[in-house]
């Protein structure tokens, strides 16, 4: 059974940093793409970043480009380093595994439960 478990969320002041982690288990993810999405209160879930587990280019939403970095290690963990955080980054952040590294929710088959990130002004 596939499991994605996020951690690392919390409360931070504007301009601060957080690193989210996503531990993946239950299958081999070497052929998968891993993505981060977020959902703010009253808004739709939106794409943040994605990367293929096998390597290659990473993809980012324009709103986070230059501030966030997605990466993965060799032990089934994906990270999202978030710097220069803004109040508008406040949301529940979700890790997802899918077939291609694209900003489409329906391309991802597996989802974590989410971790809350709150950025105070």
The residue with greater pLDDT, 54 or 41, is: 41
Residue 94 neighbours by CB under 8 Å, 6+ apart: 6, 36, 37, 38, 39, 45, 111, 112, 113, 114
CA gap 28, 90 in Å, rounded: 32
Of 47, 44, 62, residue with least CA distance to 100: 47
Give 42-96 pLDDT, tens digit per residue: 999 999 999 988 877 899 999 999 999 999 988 889 999 999 999 999 999 999 9
The answer to whether 80 and 48 have CB atoms below 8 angstroms apart is yes
Which pLDDT score, from 0 to 100, does residue 50 have?
96
The answer to whether 5 and 113 have CB atoms below 8 angstroms apart is yes
Which pLDDT score, from 0 to 100, does residue 63 have?
97
Q: Residues 15-44: what's their mean pLDDT?
A: 93
User: Is 29's pLDDT higher than 90?
Assistant: no
């Amino acid at each position: 059974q596939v499991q994605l478990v996020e951690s690392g969320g919390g409360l931070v002041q504007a301009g601060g940093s957080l690193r989210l982690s996503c531990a993946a288990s239950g299958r081999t993810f070497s052929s998968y793409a891993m993505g981060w999405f977020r959902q703010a209160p009253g808004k739709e879930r939106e794409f943040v970043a994605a990367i293929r587990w096998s390597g290659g280019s990473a993809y980012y939403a324009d709103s986070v480009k230059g501030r966030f970095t997605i990466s993965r290690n060799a032990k089934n963990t994906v990270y999202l380093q978030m710097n220069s955080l803004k109040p508008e980054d406040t949301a529940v952040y979700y890790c997802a595994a899918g077939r291609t590294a694209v900003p489409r929710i329906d391309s991802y088959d597996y989802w974590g439960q989410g971790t809350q990130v709150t950025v105070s002004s």
